[in-house]
Amino acid sequence: MNPDPLRHFRQFGAQGFAPSADPAALATALSIYHNNRLGIRRRAVSLSYPLTEQLLGKPLFRPMLKAFCHQASMPHALEHSGAGLLHWLRAQPQGPALFADYPFLPSLLRWEWAHHLAYHSERYDPASHERCDLWLRHPSEPPPWRLHPALSVLSSRYPLAAIVARLTALSQGRATEGLAIERGDRRCWAVWPTLDNTAVAQLTPAQRRLLRWLKPPQPASLTPELFSPLPQLLKRGWLVARNDSAPVLRDLHSSLFFS
């Protein structure tokens, strides 16, 4: 029997997996298939968190990754393989000690996952400036936009941008100094997809107020000051055209305002 289940199915069809087939050969094929899937998943999760791997080092990161891939449920889409890593880590016995050693690690994991989601995002039609302007002058339900499903906002008291820059330099051999991390004032960053990559920017208070207002829109509280950042949001593609027939993969409450 061919040890590759997919090739075997193409050669022999469903009968190739009938109970009458050689049990030992079938068990071998399924074991190879299972191990291949686990290996591919570990690779996918590793590619989702390269800076976390740089921070923790391969001797710590690789066993942790292997345990996560064995214990966590397998998603339908391979690019979502690392979605529950932070939640899984919090539930592990060694989690508190790990976060005590690296208190900014939850923020770093969210930062990397936000970039991963943005990079693998689907393409969406941009919101129409004319329709948005018309809605602002004559509010109704629903508005002609929705937030981009791959837009994420992260909030942290740690200097995430500086942490990411230093870990990136270390991974490229451009820096040898360690990380000096101190908590400071809370800041917020937006992460979103661009045409060929991802982008990140620190949010202004006005931008954050407008994003919060958009969850969901409340026409009665419209003010010109509130909507002053709207051109910036439209230019960056944070708002996309509403299509009520298309599913919203990650709405505002699940993708924004990580803390």
Residues 57, 16 share a domain: yes
pLDDT confidence bin for 1, thresholds 50/70/90: very low
Q: Facing residues of 191 across strands?
A: 152, 200
- Apex 81 CA angle, 76 and 85, nearest 5: 135
Does residue 247 carry a pLDDT above 80?
Answer: no
Question: What is the tens place of the pLDDT at every residue in 45-94?
Answer: 999 999 999 999 999 999 999 999 888 877 777 788 888 999 999 999 99
**Listed ranges 6-20, 135-149, 163-177, 197-211; the one with the highest mean pLDDT:** 197-211
Structure tokens at 20: 């009458």
Cis omega (within 30 of 0) for bond into 50: no
- The span from the CA of 155 to the CA of 259, in Å, is 5
Does residue 136 carry a pLDDT above 60?
Answer: yes
Residues 114, 83 share a domain: no
3-state SS, the chain, equals: CCCCHHHHHHHHHHHHHCCCCCHHHHHHHHHHHHHHHHHHHHHHHHHHCHHHHHHHCHHHHHHHHHHHHHHCCCCCCHHHCCCCHHHHHHCCCCHHHHHHHCCCHHHHHHHHHHHHHHHCCCCCCECCHHHHHHHHHCCCCCCCEEECCCCEEEEECCCHHHHHHHHHHHHCCCCCCCCCCCCCCCEEEEEEECCCCEEEEECCHHHHHHHHHCCCCCHHHCCCCCCCCHHHHHHHCCEEECCCCCCCCCCHHHHCCEC
- The one-letter amino acid code at 214 reads L
**Domain boundary, last residue among 76, 102, 128:** 102
Residues 115, 95 share a domain: no
Residues 131, 68 share a domain: no
Residues 215, 95 share a domain: no
- The one-letter amino acid code at 185 reads D
Residues 203, 79 share a domain: no
Residues 237, 157 share a domain: yes
Rounded to 10 degrees, the C-alpha dihedral 126/128/133/137 comes to -100
pLDDT, residue 63, reads 93
Residues 236, 160 share a domain: yes
Q: How many C-beta neighbours within 10 Å does residue 244 have?
A: 8
pLDDT confidence bin for 33, thresholds 50/70/90: low
Residues 183, 88 share a domain: no
Share of the chain above pLDDT 70, in %: 75
Residues 82, 193 share a domain: no
Residues 171, 56 share a domain: no
pLDDT confidence bin for 252, thresholds 50/70/90: very low
187-193 and 198-202 as β-strands: parallel, antiparallel, unpaired? antiparallel
Q: pTM (2 decimals)?
A: 0.78
pLDDT, residue 58, reads 93
**Domain boundary, last residue among 51, 73, 102:** 102
Question: What is the tens place of the pLDDT at every residue in 204-213?
Answer: 999 999 988 8
Question: What is the tens place of the pLDDT at every residue in 165-176?
Answer: 999 998 888 866
Q: Which residues contact 202 (CB under 8 A, 6 or more apart)?
A: 161, 187, 188, 189, 190
- Owning domain of residue 39: 1-102
pLDDT confidence bin for 108, thresholds 50/70/90: very high
The count of domains in the chain is: 2
Residues 130, 38 share a domain: no
